[in-house]
RNA sequence: GGGAAUGUAGCUCAGAUGGUAGAGCAACGGACUUUUAAUCCGUAGGUCUCGGGUUCGAGCCCCGACAUUCUCACCA
């Protein structure tokens, strides 16, 4: 071979594994395995501990003449014969015995391979095993002298070779970037990751069950939009070659679901990915999962009830009570959640009358907010709200009745057109859900699409004209309630996780440079 | 985008005031039939992120780049 490229230990480690790979092939065994039937989950095997029958200890035979007694009393034991499959996590060699710890997605268990018990060929194979390899094991499930639940192997099946060196067997992966990048190894080696990701799946299933039980149907809207509407966010831009048109990745589900309301799908929801071309931090990933639902003939108050059902149902699904710990604090999700009006909270937290524009403006100035001359009074009001009120909301609390001008897709209160029938659900200062009584007046909607509020940046505005959506409303959309929940954040809260990266299997990372 | 910190073996980490690099795990060889982060003896493994500079001499000091983490701003 030509001069080695500096590879160092890594090259040596791989060479050692490839040498074993070669030996396995020489033995006539496929190092990449094949179908393997009849195995039990390790968790279910461990649950069968009660089937192990323990007999009376048998005194060891007398030692040879002049030798001290060295054998321990033998305890006869028998247990069920089982077959399992998993990844080798630990390996302890002890002469003619090999102890392995293998893991599948339900747990870990110890395997004992004895040279004189397993047969020559299996022993030869066992000597070629590396940490990280996948094997199948047949054997009797019982205990060692130390009481460790163990499968005493009678047969080994090689299922797949691992060429890469696994992380440190004790400390695992700790670098946050590596954990996301090598998520496959993070799932294997970091405690709690598998459980959290599976809990995410359970939460999603629970939401579908809850909504199904309420008569909602799940649909799939388009993710490629020619108008990226329904939210205030910067979209990703892409292009369709055959049509030669620019397209945006969707930033919300809203406008197509409402079209379906027009079409007569009276209770409709979608759980799907949306894409926002914005910053990345502990609570933001460029692609994330939204749940939006729309209920004909409902309003934002109906949405509060459903929100509570979704959250408590999800807590039930992952086996948690309604009082949970998150970010070091306790939150009580026992319904009904608190309901507080936006204006009342504003007055309470700032001491300023939200209706007094000059006072609000003076207060904003005292907070150091800038460009007040150029901003709509409601934009200023909301900036103060976000600054002084939102972060202080422990929750869970429904904040209700928002200033209408910052809610261009929301129906106004009949008694006061300056107030929108909207709520947001906050927990510990974080927005978890957002709901409206949906605006279904096409003329007003068209006007609101045209009016970008003073002081709003274009990309932060929802003022994006969607002519087809207006046309749909002109055909008549039932009065309705609509709700959006950020699924990733919900999972974070329910699984006591403070980083969104910990609840997304493959968060966006800068591409790695190879070679 | 601003600020702070970090970048040393496959993984996890040490390397005071500058003197050409260390441990544990993993690997290789040996001993061991009830271990369990096994143990013991031995061996091998490094362009100290990259590029400049200062210096007789740089992992360490200076400048720059790149990357990551945390944080602030923006957004959900």
Q: What is the tens place of the pLDDT at every residue in A321-352?
A: 999 988 888 899 999 999 999 999 888 888 88
pLDDT band at A38 (very low <50, low <70, confident <90, very high): very high
Cβ of A175 near strand B (under 7 Å)? The reply is yes
The sign one gets for the Cα dihedral A165, A171, A175, A181 is positive
Cβ of A146 near strand B (under 7 Å)? The reply is yes
- Measured CA to C1', the nucleotide nearest A232 is B75
**pLDDT of the residue at A243:** 95
Cβ of A489 near strand B (under 7 Å)? The reply is yes
Cβ of A3 near strand B (under 7 Å)? The reply is no
Task: With H, G, I as helix, E, B as strand and everything else as coil, classify residue A295.
Answer: strand
**For residue A106, what are its two tokens?**
């339900």
**pLDDT of the residue at A15:** 92
How do strand A77-78 and strand A81-94 relate by DSSP bridges? Answer: unpaired
The residue lying closest to nucleotide B10, measuring its CA against C1', is: A10
Instruction: Reply yes or no: is the peptide bond before residue A396 cis, omega within 30 of 0.
Output: yes
- Mean pLDDT of all residues belonging to chain A: 89
Contact call for residues A138 and A81 (beta carbons, < 8 A): yes
Task: With H, G, I as helix, E, B as strand and everything else as coil, classify residue A291.
Answer: strand
**pLDDT of the residue at A460:** 59
pLDDT band at A392 (very low <50, low <70, confident <90, very high): confident
- Measured CA to C1', the nucleotide nearest A285 is B76
Instruction: Spell out which residues of A between 95 and 134 contact strand B, using CB within 7 Å.
Output: 95-97, 99, 101, 110, 112, 114-117, 130-131
Q: What is the dihedral of CA A74, A76, A82, A83, to 10 degrees?
A: 20
Closest alpha carbon to A203 in A486, A499, A398 = A486
C1' (B36) to CA (A129) span, angstroms: 18
- Work out the average pLDDT over A65-79: 71
Whether residue A4 is predicted with pLDDT greater than 50 in this model: the reply is: no
C1' (B39) to CA (A505) span, angstroms: 39
**pLDDT of the residue at A34:** 95
How many angstroms separate the Cα of A116 from the Cα of each of A112, A121, A152, A349? 12, 11, 12, 76
Q: Report the alpha-carbon distance of residue A254 to residue A58 in Å, rounded.
A: 73
Cβ of A251 near strand B (under 7 Å)? The reply is no
Whether residue A255 is predicted with pLDDT greater than 70 in this model: the reply is: yes
pLDDT band at A76 (very low <50, low <70, confident <90, very high): confident
Closest alpha carbon to A254 in A419, A387, A440 = A440
Instruction: Spell out which residues of A between 310 and 349 contact strand B, using CB within 7 Å.
Output: none
Contact call for residues A98 and A136 (beta carbons, < 8 A): no
The sign one gets for the Cα dihedral A31, A32, A34, A39 is positive
Q: Report the alpha-carbon distance of residue A210 to residue A306 in Å, rounded.
A: 9
SS3 of chain A: helix, strand, coil, percent, to 5: 35, 25, 40
Cβ of A171 near strand B (under 7 Å)? The reply is yes
C1' (B16) to CA (A282) span, angstroms: 37
Which nucleotides of strand B lie within 7 A of protein CB?
1, 9-13, 24-28, 31-39, 44-47, 67-76
Q: What is the dihedral of CA A133, A135, A141, A142, to 10 degrees?
A: -30
Q: Report the alpha-carbon distance of residue A8 to residue A465 in Å, rounded.
A: 59
| Beta partners for residue A336, in sequence order | none
What region, left, alpha or beta, does residue A392 occupy, with left being phi > 0 and alpha being psi -120 to 50 degrees?
Answer: alpha
C1' (B10) to CA (A505) span, angstroms: 23
- Measured CA to C1', the nucleotide nearest A460 is B75
Predicted TM-score (pTM) of the model is: 0.91
Cβ of A138 near strand B (under 7 Å)? The reply is no
Q: Report the alpha-carbon distance of residue A97 to residue A44 in Å, rounded.
A: 26
Instruction: Spell out which residues of A between 150 and 169 contact strand B, using CB within 7 Å.
Output: 150, 152, 164-169
Which of A133-137, A359-363, A376-380 has the largest mean confidence?
A133-137
**pLDDT of the residue at A68:** 57
- Work out the average pLDDT over A379-401: 86
Cβ of A34 near strand B (under 7 Å)? The reply is no
The sign one gets for the Cα dihedral A353, A359, A363, A365 is positive
List, for residues A435-452, the tens digit of each pLDDT value: 999 999 999 998 888 876
b/e for A57-93, b at 16 or more Cβ within 10 A?
A: eeeeeeeeeeeeeeeeeeeeeebeebbbbbbbbebee
Alpha-helical (H) ranges within A269-320 are 300-317
Cβ of A497 near strand B (under 7 Å)? The reply is no
| Beta partners for residue A339, in sequence order | A398
| Angle (nearest 5°) at CA A333 between A328 and A337 | 120
Cβ of A145 near strand B (under 7 Å)? The reply is yes
C1' (B20) to CA (A514) span, angstroms: 29
C1' (B38) to CA (A127) span, angstroms: 17
**pLDDT of the residue at A404:** 87
Residue A187 main-chain phi, psi, to 5 deg: -60, -40
- Measured CA to C1', the nucleotide nearest A233 is B75
How many angstroms separate the Cα of A257 from the Cα of each of A32, A230, A261, A484? 46, 10, 7, 11
Closest alpha carbon to A44 in A137, A132, A141 = A141
- Work out the average pLDDT over A430-439: 92
Whether residue A361 is predicted with pLDDT greater than 60 in this model: the reply is: yes
Closest alpha carbon to A440 in A468, A478, A402, A404 = A478
Contact call for residues A112 and A90 (beta carbons, < 8 A): no
C1' (B20) to CA (A494) span, angstroms: 53
Whether residue A461 is predicted with pLDDT greater than 90 in this model: the reply is: no
C1' (B49) to CA (A174) span, angstroms: 19
Whether residue A193 is predicted with pLDDT greater than 90 in this model: the reply is: yes
C1' (B12) to CA (A180) span, angstroms: 17
Q: Report the alpha-carbon distance of residue A285 to residue A299 in Å, rounded.
A: 30
Q: How large is the ipTM?
A: 0.90
Cβ of A89 near strand B (under 7 Å)? The reply is no
Q: Report the alpha-carbon distance of residue A344 to residue A55 in Å, rounded.
A: 73
How many angstroms separate the Cα of A512 from the Cα of each of A178, A287, A503, A515? 11, 19, 21, 10
**For residue A283, what are its two tokens?**
């609570």
Whether residue A358 is predicted with pLDDT greater than 90 in this model: the reply is: no
Give residue for tokens 């919900």: A490
**For residue A6, what are its two tokens?**
């500096």
Contact call for residues A397 and A340 (beta carbons, < 8 A): yes
Which of A257-266, A354-363, A409-418 has the largest mean confidence?
A257-266
How do strand A134-143 and strand A97-104 relate by DSSP bridges? Answer: unpaired
**Count of CB atoms situated within 10 Å of the CB of A320:** 17
C1' (B52) to CA (A396) span, angstroms: 55
For A104, which DSSP code?
E
pLDDT band at A2 (very low <50, low <70, confident <90, very high): very low
């Amino acid at each position: 071979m030509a001069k080695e490229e500096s590879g160092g230990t890594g090259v040596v480690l791989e060479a050692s594994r490839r040498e074993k790979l070669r030996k396995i092939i020489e033995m006539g065994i496929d190092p990449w395995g094949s179908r393997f039937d009849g195995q039990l989950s390790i968790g279910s095997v461990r649950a069968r501990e009660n089937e192990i029958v323990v007999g009376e200890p048998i005194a060891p035979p007398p030692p040879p003449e002049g030798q001290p007694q060295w054998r321990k009393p033998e305890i006869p034991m028998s247990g069920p014969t089982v077959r399992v499959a998993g990844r080798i996590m630990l390996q302890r060699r002890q002469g003619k015995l090999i102890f392995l710890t293998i893991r599948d997605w339900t747990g870990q268990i110890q395997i004992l391979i004895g040279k004189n018990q397993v047969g020559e060929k299996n022993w030869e194979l066992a000597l070629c095993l590396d940490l990280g390899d996948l094997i199948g094991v047949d054997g009797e499930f019982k205990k060692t002298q130390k009481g460790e639940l163990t499968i005493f192997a009678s047969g080994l099946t090689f299922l797949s070779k691992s060429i890469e060196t696994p992380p440190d067997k004790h400390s695992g992966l700790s670098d946050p970037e590596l954990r996301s990048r090598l998520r496959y190894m993070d799932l294997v080696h970091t405690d709690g990751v598998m459980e959290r990701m599976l809990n995410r799946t359970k939460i999603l299933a629970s939401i579908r069950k809850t909504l199904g039980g309420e008569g909602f149907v799940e649909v799939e809207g388009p993710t490629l939009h020619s108008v990226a509407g329904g939210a205030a966010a910067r979209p990703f831009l892409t292009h369709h070659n055959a049509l030669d048109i620019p397209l945006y990745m969707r930033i919300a589900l809203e406008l197509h679901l409402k079209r379906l309301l027009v079409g007569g799908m009276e209770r409709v929801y979608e759980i799907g990915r949306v894409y926002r071309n914005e910053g990345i931090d502990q609570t933001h990933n460029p692609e994330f999962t939204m749940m939006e639902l729309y209920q004909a003939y409902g309003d934002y108050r109906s949405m509060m009830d459903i929100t509570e059902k979704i959250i408590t149902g999800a807590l039930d699904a992952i086996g948690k009570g309604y009082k949970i710990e998150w970010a070091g604090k306790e939150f009580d999700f026992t319904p009904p959640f608190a309901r507080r009006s936006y204006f009342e909270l504003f007055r309470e937290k700032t001491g300023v009358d939200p209706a007094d524009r000059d006072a609000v403006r003076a207060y904003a100035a005292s907070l150091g907010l800038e460009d007040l001359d150029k901003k709509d009074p409601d934009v200023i009001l909301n900036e103060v709200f976000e600054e002084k009120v939102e972060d202080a909301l422990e929750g869970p609390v429904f904040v209700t009745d928002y200033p209408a001008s910052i809610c261009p897709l929301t129906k106004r209160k009949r008694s006061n057109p300056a107030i929108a029938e909207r709520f947001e659900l906050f927990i510990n200062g974080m927005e978890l859900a957002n709901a409206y009584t949906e605006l279904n007046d096409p003329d007003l909607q068209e006007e609101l699409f045209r009016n970008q509020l003073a002081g709003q940046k274009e990309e932060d505005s929802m003022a994006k004209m969607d002519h087809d959506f207006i046309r749909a409303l002109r055909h008549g959309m039932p009065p309705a309630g609509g709700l959006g929940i950020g699924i990733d954040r919900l999972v974070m809260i329910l699984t006591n996780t403070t980083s969104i990266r910990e609840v997304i299997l493959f968060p966006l990372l800068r591409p790695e440079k190879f070679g």
